[in-house]
């Protein structure tokens, strides 16, 4: 019995993805083949019965270090790591190290001294995980840094689309909302354009970052035009503090022009699906009924796919490290 | 009496356009003679004579660095020493210090504290307004009696138009320039009092979009420059824009000069040598104010230097501790060291054939003196012996590990040139071993 289990694990291990880096810091710069393999591997995990033994990373220590509030991402990473048999320690550092006056690098090197295999970092400052990767010797996964990237979200979004539609290449995908401040948007732009999708970005001009078209997307400030014939409508969260002030006059004005409702959705492809990285503001980005429309909304599937994608990444990083050590 | 004889040195003196290989003799604090072939016998009765064979070396007036920040952790005397080692014989410090240089007694204090015949001379910009709010004029008349050579709010813009108008009028009356850090702080999101949520971190454009950093539009500079030029016209003031960095501002200054306004500007090496793409790795050594701009702006700075729209090059030295730079980009401090690379980076313009050596030296010597109404340095008989000796073709690499201040934005840059000696008041404040080895007698 034991032997059988071991063999099973061996074959399971052989298909782990080898990455070109020890870390997953950003989608920008990743090879198409690498993305493809990670998605395929995640698809495999998503199809597995939840009770299948996938505990190949026993003794592997993961620190989930969050400098910013998060529920879904933290839990998703934790579940993924646990399903692979890893030990997970959650550390919430929201304001705590700042209060003590400790520098970020001191905090990081303290954690590093405990010899984790993997540090999963979410930080409010763009580029912070790169700093960790420069100074620490464990693998780093960027779980969202400032306005920069949220690579695992883009991978899980890609997996969600792929499972529903079957492919990414040539799809018309409209990303709508606060593009300027969204790391989800940036990672998705890089991933989807790399995979050959036609990406459009829709945002009020106050929330559209400059020269975005240089990233290979089309930009729209008119949502009706931006989602015309779209196969996927991806909505972004509008932070509370941006709902009024100088970026938007009011919630209701935002909903009128940039919230997804039946009328606007009717302009998209008749099979178009709706996505949202969550947490969503019902009645601001999306009409509540649409969010719950299981035929169109993939919002819950996205959450489910999160675990599978993160399993494939954690497994890949471990595999990559082992390969690098052997060489 | 000690004589120092520098044999066969190329003397470059922008004030008189003198550019010939000569023998230079220094005695006490003055230049004793500049001649074709100095006969050592003339002074043999004197007790001591040092002769250096300076074949292949160049001599120019000591550099004037018109913009140096002395940070919280920096010591003025130490900075003077480092400046001297890098060819700067005179520097102007900004008022943004703790405590602020905003009253006559502190100007007097700093003047006295920094007085040392063997170190880089320190000039001071007084704070134009009493505090950061920028609403009350400092005692700029009294401060100028104590030796302030100009007035500025240093790293902050003088924001209020009425305050600026009055400052200009008053400064014109006492014949002092107003030096502006031109940045619309509302637009760049740096105005703490405003309700905006942003805090500009770098130049706005594709790079800021990719990095997810908050962009400062380049027009934040020209908006202030344009306004100020109108006020300079109204008041007749001498107005100087520090560390100019955009094409639009340079164009506006070019036009202002054409119509005869007393408007000048300087830039700093990062703005002609680097652009925003340096930030792509989030390297905080490139977090500067104004931010590194795009390539077109960089080219405009070079054109401005070439056609004389840009009067001077300053180091814009703002050294920062490693602790404040080893941070995520958003949390890192702003600024980089400059006094150790000012000369070398300006010389790079010569090696790249953008300007000639005479022009390069002018930008670092008589031009800043002109802008600030300082005595123009000159290498002539009986002039004060403040000068530098350098090898313009010495193969060199800027290496952070060999520098005394950090961070340099030019780490690992291959350049040519080296300062071999700095004389201040006739004294060899700094002599490199290479020059020491050239002593004949």
B206 interface with A at CB cutoff 8 Å: yes
**Does a cis peptide bond (omega within 30 degrees of 0) precede residue A279?**
yes
Average pLDDT (A5-33) is: 78
Asked if the model's pLDDT at residue B277 lies above 90, the reply is yes
pLDDT digits (tens, 9 = 90+) for B157-212: 999 999 999 999 999 999 999 999 999 999 998 766 555 556 899 999 999 999 99
Average pLDDT (B427-438) is: 95
pLDDT digits (tens, 9 = 90+) for B25-70: 999 999 999 999 887 665 556 568 899 999 999 999 999 999 999 9
Average pLDDT (B60-85) is: 94
**Does a cis peptide bond (omega within 30 degrees of 0) precede residue B186?**
no
How many angstroms away from the CA of B198 is the closest CA of chain A? 10
Q: Which residues contact A323 (CB under 8 A, 6 or more apart)?
A: A18
User: Please, are residues B266 and B368 in contact by the beta-carbon 8 Å criterion?
Assistant: yes
pLDDT at A105: 86
Chain B residues whose CB is inside 8 A of the A127 CB are 211-213, 282, 328-330
How many angstroms away from the CA of B214 is the closest CA of chain A? 9
Confidence band, pLDDT 50/70/90 cuts, at residue A326? confident
Q: Which residues contact B383 (CB under 8 A, 6 or more apart)?
A: B30, B31, B377
Q: CB–CB of A210 and B204 under 8 A? A: yes
Asked if the model's pLDDT at residue B322 lies above 70, the reply is yes
User: Please, are residues B410 and B398 in contact by the beta-carbon 8 Å criterion?
Assistant: yes
- Phi first, then psi: give them for residue A234, nearest 5 degrees: -105, 120
Mutate which: A109, A123, A131, vs B, most B CBs within 10 A: A131
Confidence band, pLDDT 50/70/90 cuts, at residue A1? very low
Question: Poorest-confidence range of A237-251, B130-144, B157-171, B255-269?
Answer: A237-251
pLDDT digits (tens, 9 = 90+) for B122-131: 999 999 999 8
Mutate which: A65, A125, A215, vs B, most B CBs within 10 A: A125
User: Please, are residues B325 and B284 in contact by the beta-carbon 8 Å criterion?
Assistant: yes
pLDDT digits (tens, 9 = 90+) for A180-203: 999 999 999 999 999 999 999 999
Facing B331 at nearest CB: one of A125, A130, A149: A125
> Taking every pair of C-alpha atoms in chain B, what is the biggest distance, in angstroms?
76
The residue of chain B nearest to residue A98, with distances taken between CA atoms, is B331
Confidence band, pLDDT 50/70/90 cuts, at residue A246? confident
Average pLDDT (A71-93) is: 95
Q: Count the neighbouring beta carbons within 10 Å of the beta carbon of residue A207.
A: 21
Pick from A234, A237, A232: nearest CA to A280: A237
B330 interface with A at CB cutoff 8 Å: yes
Average pLDDT (B417-428) is: 97
Q: What is the ipTM of this complex?
A: 0.90
Q: How, if at all, do strands B121-127 and B202-203 pair?
A: unpaired
Tell me the percentage of chain A whose pLDDT exceeds 90: 79
From B23, B228, B266, B316, the catalytic residue: B316
> Taking every pair of C-alpha atoms in chain A, what is the biggest distance, in angstroms?
66
Q: CB–CB of A245 and B282 under 8 A? A: no
Q: CB–CB of A215 and B206 under 8 A? A: yes
pLDDT digits (tens, 9 = 90+) for A26-78: 999 999 999 999 999 999 999 998 888 889 999 999 999 999 988 999 999 99
Domains A2-149+305-321 and A151-302 fall in the same CATH topology: yes
Q: CB–CB of A28 and B209 under 8 A? A: no
pLDDT at B160: 95
Domain ranges (residues) in chain A: 2-149+305-321, 151-302
Q: Which residues contact A11 (CB under 8 A, 6 or more apart)?
A: none
How many angstroms away from the CA of B369 is the closest CA of chain A? 40
Compute CA distances A286 → A164, A264, B45, whole Å: 21, 11, 96
Query: Catalytic site residue B316?
Result: yes
Average pLDDT (B144-169) is: 96
Q: Count the neighbouring beta carbons within 10 Å of the beta carbon of residue A136.
A: 19
Q: Which fold has domain A151-302?
A: Rossmann fold (3.40.50)
pLDDT digits (tens, 9 = 90+) for B11-26: 999 999 999 999 999 9
DSSP state of A270: T
Residue pointed to by tokens 């997804």: A260
Question: Poorest-confidence range of A158-167, A318-327, B398-407?
Answer: A318-327
pLDDT at A104: 84
The residue of chain A nearest to residue B323, with distances taken between CA atoms, is A103
Tell me the percentage of chain B whose pLDDT exceeds 90: 89
In terms of CATH architecture, what is A2-149+305-321?
3-Layer(aba) Sandwich (3.40)
pLDDT at B180: 98
The strand ranges marked E within B133-221 are 148-152, 178-180, 202-203, 215-216
B286 interface with A at CB cutoff 8 Å: no
Handedness of CA B137, B143, B144, B150 (dihedral sign): negative
Confidence band, pLDDT 50/70/90 cuts, at residue A98? low
Chain A residues whose CB is inside 8 A of the B215 CB are 209-210
Asked if the model's pLDDT at residue A14 lies above 60, the reply is no
Confidence band, pLDDT 50/70/90 cuts, at residue A96? low
Handedness of CA A166, A170, A176, A178 (dihedral sign): positive
Asked if the model's pLDDT at residue A99 lies above 50, the reply is yes
Mutate which: B189, B216, B276, B328, vs A, most A CBs within 10 A: B328
In whole numbers, what is the pLDDT of chain B averaged over residues?
A: 94
Facing A186 at nearest CB: one of B204, B212, B215: B212
Q: CB–CB of B328 and A125 under 8 A? A: yes
How many angstroms away from the CA of A244 is the closest CA of chain B? 11
Compute CA distances A19 → A324, B293, B313, whole Å: 10, 35, 47
Write down all domains in chain B, each with its CATH number in brackets: 2-59+382-391+415-436 (2.30.40.10), 61-371 (3.20.20.140)
pLDDT at B48: 84
Q: Count the neighbouring beta carbons within 10 Å of the beta carbon of residue A199.
A: 23
How far is Cα B361 from Cα B102, in angstroms, rounded to an integer? Answer: 32
Asked if the model's pLDDT at residue A167 lies above 80, the reply is yes
Helices assigned H by DSSP within B93-181: 104-114, 140-145, 161-173
User: Please, are residues B27 and B3 in contact by the beta-carbon 8 Å criterion?
Assistant: yes
pLDDT digits (tens, 9 = 90+) for B324-340: 999 999 999 999 999 99
In whole numbers, what is the pLDDT of chain A averaged over residues?
A: 91
pLDDT at A108: 85
Asked if the model's pLDDT at residue B306 lies above 90, the reply is yes
User: Please, are residues B65 and B83 in contact by the beta-carbon 8 Å criterion?
Assistant: yes
The residue of chain B nearest to residue A213, with distances taken between CA atoms, is B206
Facing B330 at nearest CB: one of A103, A125, A214: A125
């Amino acid at each position: 019995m034991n032997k059988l289990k071991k063999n099973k694990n061996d074959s399971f291990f052989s298909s782990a993805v080898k990455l070109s880096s020890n870390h997953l810091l950003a989608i920008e710069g990743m090879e198409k083949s690498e993305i493809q393999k990670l998605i395929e591997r995640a698809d495999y995990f998503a199809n597995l019965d939840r009770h299948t033994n996938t505990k190949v990373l026993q003794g592997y220590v993961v620190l989930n270090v969050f400098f910013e509030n998060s529920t879904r991402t933290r839990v998703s990473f934790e579940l993924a790591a646990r399903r692979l048999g890893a030990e997970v320690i959650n550390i919430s550092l929201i304001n705590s190290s700042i209060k003590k006056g400790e520098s970020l690098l001191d905090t990081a090197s303290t954690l590093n001294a405990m010899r984790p295999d993997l540090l999963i970092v979410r930080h409010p400052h763009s580029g912070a995980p790169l700093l960790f990767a420069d100074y620490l010797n464990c693998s780093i996964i960027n779980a969202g840094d400032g306005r920069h990237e949220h690579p695992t979200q883009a991978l899980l979004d890609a997996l969600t689309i792929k499972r529903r539609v079957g492919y990414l290449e040539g799809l018309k995908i409209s990303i709508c909302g606060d593009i300027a401040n969204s790391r989800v948007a940036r990672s998705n732009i890089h991933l989807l354009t790399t995979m050959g999708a036609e990406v459009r970005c829709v945002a009020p001009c106050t929330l559209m970052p400059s020269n975005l078209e240089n990233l290979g997307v089309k930009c729209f400030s008119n949502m009706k035009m931006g989602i015309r014939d779209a196969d996927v409508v991806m909505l972004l969260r509008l932070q509370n503090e941006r709902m009024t002030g100088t970026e938007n006059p009011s919630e209701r004005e935002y909903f009128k022009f940039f919230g997804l409702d039946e009328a606007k959705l009717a302009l998209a492809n008749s099979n178009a699906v709706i996505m949202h990285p969550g947490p969503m503001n019902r009645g601001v980005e999306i009409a509540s009924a649409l969010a719950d429309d299981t035929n169109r909304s993939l919002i819950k599937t996205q959450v489910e796919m999160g675990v599978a994608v993160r399993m494939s990444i954690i497994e890949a990083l471990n595999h990559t490290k082992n390969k690098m050590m052997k060489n | 009496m000690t004589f120092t004889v520098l044999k066969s040195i190329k003397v470059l003196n922008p004030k008189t356009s003198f550019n010939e290989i000569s023998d230079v003799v220094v005695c006490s604090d003055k230049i004793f003679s500049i001649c074709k072939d100095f006969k050592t016998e003339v002074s043999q009765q004197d007790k001591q004579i040092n002769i250096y064979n300076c074949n292949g070396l160049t001599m120019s007036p000591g550099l004037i660095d018109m913009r140096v920040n002395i940070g919280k952790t920096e010591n003025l005397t130490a900075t003077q020493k480092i400046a001297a080692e890098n060819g700067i014989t005179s520097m102007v410090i900004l008022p943004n210090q703790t405590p602020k240089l905003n009253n006559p007694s502190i100007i007097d204090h700093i003047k006295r504290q920094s007085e040392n015949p063997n170190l880089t001379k320190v000039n001071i910009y007084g704070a134009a307004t009493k505090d950061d709010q920028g609403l009350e004029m400092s005692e700029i008349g009294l401060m100028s009696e104590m030796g302030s050579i100009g007035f500025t709010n240093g790293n902050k813009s003088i924001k209020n138009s009425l305050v600026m108008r009055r400052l200009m009028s008053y400064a014109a009356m006492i014949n002092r320039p107003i030096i502006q850090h031109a940045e619309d702080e509302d637009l760049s999101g740096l105005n703490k009092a405003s309700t905006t949520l942003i805090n500009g971190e770098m130049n706005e454009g594709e790079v800021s979009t990719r990095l997810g950093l908050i962009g400062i539009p380049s027009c934040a500079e020209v908006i202030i420059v344009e306004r100020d030029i109108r006020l300079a016209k109204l008041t007749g003031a001498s107005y100087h824009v520090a560390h100019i960095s955009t094409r639009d501002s340079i164009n506006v200054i070019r036009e202002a000069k054409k119509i005869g306004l007393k408007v000048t500007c300087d830039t700093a090496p990062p703005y002609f040598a680097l652009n925003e793409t340096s930030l792509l790795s989030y390297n905080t050594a490139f977090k500067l104010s104004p931010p590194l701009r795009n390539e077109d702006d960089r080219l405009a700075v070079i054109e401005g230097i070439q056609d004389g729209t840009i009067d001077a090059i300053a180091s814009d030295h703002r050294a920062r501790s490693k602790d404040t730079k080893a941070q995520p980009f958003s949390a890192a401090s702003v600024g980089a060291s400059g006094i150790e690379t000012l000369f070398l980076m300006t010389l790079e313009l010569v090696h790249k054939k953008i300007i000639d050596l005479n022009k390069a030296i002018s930008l670092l010597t008589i031009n800043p003196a002109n802008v600030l109404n300082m005595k123009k340095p000159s290498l002539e008989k009986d002039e004060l012996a403040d000068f530098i000796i350098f090898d313009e073709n010495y193969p060199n690499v800027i290496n952070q590990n060999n520098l005394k201040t950090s961070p340099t934005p030019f780490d690992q840059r291959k350049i040519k040139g080296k300062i071999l000696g700095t004389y201040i008041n006739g004294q060899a404040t700094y002599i490199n071993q290479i020059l020491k080895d050239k002593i004949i007698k």
